Amino acid sequence: MKKVVGFGEIMLRMSPAGYYKFSQVDEFKVNYTGAEANVCVALSATGMTAEYVTKVPDNDIARCAIATMRKFGVGVRHVVYGGDRLGSYYLERGASQRPSKVIYDRKYSSISMAKREEFDWETILEGVDAFHFTGITVALGENLPGICLDACKVAKKKGVQVFCDLNYRKNLWTPEQAQHIMPEIVANVDVLVGNEEDAEKVLGVKAANSDVAKGELDRESYVDVARQLSEKYGLKTVAFTLRTSISASDNNWAGIIYADKNAYFSKKYKMHIVDRVGGGDSFAAGLIYAICNGYDHQKTINFAVAASCLKHSIELDFNLSTVSEIEALMGGDGSGRVQR
């Protein structure tokens, strides 16, 4: 089986049940999540071997986070223990015209204050097929760009494919800061994942005719941005999710992959949303699975989009879909008939 390593922050997520607002409840559903953790779990669900690397404090709550990764089959051998706190965030789920709301409390987390020497990438990446991280991780703290760069370089040296999801987060850094730091890192990446907005915010590459809030999609502008990125950073593959937000309850979902100088679009799914958090991560996981397993470009984007379409129907951040479930949807059966 192919083996992937993910590196990033795992957080405690707290969310009211259903569509309640924070002030209406006295219980929070608790789960443990993070962009790269989500990718590792999704890959483990497909049968791949996934190993997750992070730094967490040495306390019982952090151990719950690590136990969750283990529960879903992800290796945690290289996790570093220390520092002050586990980052956390509060999520209030939106519906219809009301957007979901996220309140981060991730400042001063153990990983955000980690040091370069705490991660021995030579050991971690030995025998690995793919390495995955996101722009979030780079933005977490002052040493993180260096740590990510270390990892990318060791990966390159060892022939490990590097996947990077741009994942712009405005509360972590400004476009200026991102554009100052990310180019050097992206230059060490093989497969770049993101969306049009990320490309503009993180790398300053802009699409002509898109308006995210309006949800209008222009196929040509996507191809154009992907081509620019590919050429500028020498990327093997660029993949974008194409989300049209009709409301917090209903989205359209598709994807594009640009590789070998050609663009491939997936079909578009109309989704009634259960939980959209982690949707992008499940797309990245689908890509990694497809590319590591040698799918052709069209099948790759089809797989990644079908996988992440299913994620939107699952509670919480993890995509727990199996390959056969993803393939059933790719094969055209989105009727949702009971499987019995």
Q: Which of residues 274-313 bind its own copies (CB under 8 A)?
A: 274-277, 309-310, 312-313
| Separation CA 67–CA 74 (nearest Å) | 9
Q: Which of residues 111-150 bind its own copies (CB under 8 A)?
A: none
Site stretch for its own copies (CB under 8 A), options 11-19, 127-135, 175-183, 220-228: 11-19
- Measured from the CB of residue 43, what is the shortest distance to its own copies in angstroms? 16
Contact track, its own copies, 214-253, x by CB under 8 A: xx-----------------------------xxxxxx---
Q: Which of 79, 80, 98, 158 touches its own copies by CB under 8 A?
A: 98
Which backbone phi and psi does 4 adopt, to 5 degrees? -125, 145
Contact track, its own copies, 157-176, x by CB under 8 A: ------------xxx-----
| Separation CA 191–CA 182 (nearest Å) | 14
- Three-class SS of residue 157? helix
Q: Which of 78, 79, 94, 156 touches its own copies by CB under 8 A?
A: 94
- Measured from the CB of residue 104, what is the shortest distance to its own copies in angstroms? 7
At 150, which amino acid appears? D
Q: Which of residues 178-197 bind its own copies (CB under 8 A)?
A: none
Contacts 24+ apart (CB under 8 A), 293-301: 293/2, 297/257, 297/259, 297/260, 297/262, 297/264, 298/264, 300/257, 300/264, 301/239, 301/255, 301/256, 301/257, 301/264, 301/265, 301/266
84 is a site residue for its own copies (CB under 8 A): yes
Identify the CA nearest to 198 among candidates 275, 280, 270, 81.
280
Q: Which of 99, 180, 231, 234 touches its own copies by CB under 8 A?
A: 99
